[in-house]
Amino acid sequence: MAKNKKINISYYLLLPFWYLLSVLPFPVLYLLADFAFFIVYRVTGYRKQIVLTNLRNSFPEKTEAEINDIARKFYGYLCDMFLETFVTLTISRKKMLERCQFDPEALALFNRMADEDKSSVLVMGHYGNWEWAGNTFALCCRQRLYVIYHPLASESFNRLMFKIRSRFGNGLIAMKDTGRAMLGYRNEVTTTAFIADQTPSNTYAYWTNFLNQDTPVFWGTEKIAGKFNYPVIYVTVKRAKRGYYRIYAEMLEENPAQTREGEISEKHTRKLEQDIKEQPEIWLWSHRRWKHSRRTD
């Protein structure tokens, strides 16, 4: 009880500050992001060695100058996206759709799924502004989006992120509850979103080469899609310019129940790898993606 009271107090004490950030004009927001970049990159060097090591291992063909340039751009993007996330607390629907838009072909694909009364599985990575993409989906698509997520360690921040992610009507499902929750809404036409580049344990994972490294991939996307035989759609969010994003989507597998084991996991991993190579600075390089080694016993 005391712990919950402490969480509630910290949440409500910080809420006015979070709302203040959300109403800042975008030029002011990005000035603040520039200052945050100076602190995070130049002063504290937040996870800098992790970022540089990840980049060096992923792009052994690049020079040290090229690696440092990507790292610098990544930190600038990270600060932008962090502050952009708070904007969702108060941004209007019109402004959201100006800032993050569906590519017409991507929207047509989800409309086709709705017309055919087909639920689907959406798979993407921590690439581009995935938070804004969820909001845009809720505003543009006829099926409800359910997002599979890992609850954050900070209860107060987790509560805030739940509020941000569900503001326009999206549902959130903790990863441990995925199967049971999907059974509960199987009679609805939905899209269930999986972020595929999180780090699973090395005991239950599909292993492949990703960005020149032996990498574990969650089985969840593939196994769930196969169990329900939901078409798998790959989604990517590319940054057109600062503060503006575009969502692209393509059908990855129409009949997942008929695929070979590992086939879907390999497909979405290759798609994400291709996107990262095209615009490397907007992937989450500070994530400890390669902290596990493959078991050989």
Domains identified in the chain, total number = 1
* Residue-level pLDDT, tens digit, the chain, 297 residues: 445 555 567 777 778 889 999 999 999 999 999 999 999 999 999 999 999 999 999 999 999 999 999 999 999 999 999 999 999 999 999 999 999 999 999 999 999 999 999 999 999 999 999 999 999 999 999 999 999 988 877 777 888 889 999 999 999 999 889 989 999 999 999 999 999 998 887 778 999 999 999 999 999 899 999 999 999 999 999 999 999 999 999 999 999 999 999 999 999 999 999 999 999 999 999 999 998 888 766
In a domain, 249, yes or no: yes
Domain-embedded: residue 216: yes
In a domain, 133, yes or no: yes
Is residue 294, in this structure, part of any structural domain at all?
A: no
In a domain, 290, yes or no: no
Check: CB of residue 114 under 8 Å from CB of residue 233: no
How much is the pTM? 0.93
- Tell whether 233 is covered by a domain: yes
Side-chain-side CA neighbours of residue 8 (13 Å): 5
The answer to whether position 287 is within a domain reads no
Q: Does 23 map to a domain?
A: yes
Residue 106: give the domain boundaries.
2-282
